[in-house]
Amino acid sequence: MTEVRQVHCMALDPVWGVSAPGRDRTRGPGGFREHDIRPFPGGMVPPPWVQVPALLSTWLEEVTDAASHARPMEALAGAYGTFERVHPFLDGNGRAGRLLLNFVLVRLGYAPAIIYTRDRSRYLHALRSTDQGDPGPLGELLARAVLDNLYRFIVPAVAGPNRLVPLAALSRRDLSEGALRTAANRGRLRAQKGDDGHWRSIRAWVDEYLAACHQRRPLTPD
């Protein structure tokens, strides 16, 4: 419970005076709300404020049980949905909840899950499904986010420049996984296809491919 409060403090303390205008500032970051909240537009009704400490204690047990669940991502998605429904703080529950989710993921040995702005509509739809008792869509979204970050950030850092890794681990903003796959299929990018049907390459080969692309570009007049 102390860590829950601390995460909220770290996330909200720098902006509390701005992000909580007109609210009771005697209950600062890390302090649970002491009033009830009106229903949200989607119909979700947060519980009475007097129930918050007890519900969070139950939530901590739910998070602990998720570690040994047969489908841990789905279980963690359900636990995340529970936190958002409890809505324990005056403000910043979404930010604190996502930070706590990643805190738990990292402790369990997973890569953090980053939900990008482009996935906002899918995220909100999945969160509503969780509120209705189906954490599957949010669990799938979390699993894909964890895998994406594993390939994009962790695998390249661990593997180094000369170890075969999936093309997803070599993609960047200006060079998508799909573009790399097309280049591998056409023989322009040195890569190896595994028994699972997926292409793998190394950073040095991708650099060679980019250098060759640059040489093939026509010169533009001055």
Q: Which residue reads 């996935």 in tokens?
A: 119
Residues with Cβ within 8 Å of residue 99, at least 6 apart in sequence: 7, 10, 11
**Residues in the chain, overall count:** 222
**How far is it, in rounded angstroms, from Cα 113 to Cα 131?**
20
Q: Is residue 194 a contact partner of residue 201, using CB atoms and an 8 Å limit?
A: no
Nearest to 80 by CA among 36, 37, 141: 141
Q: Choosing from 69, 87, 198, 214, which is the catalytic residue?
A: 87
Active site residue 125: no
The total of other beta-carbon atoms located within 10 Å of residue 4's CB is 21
The residues annotated as belonging to the active site are 87
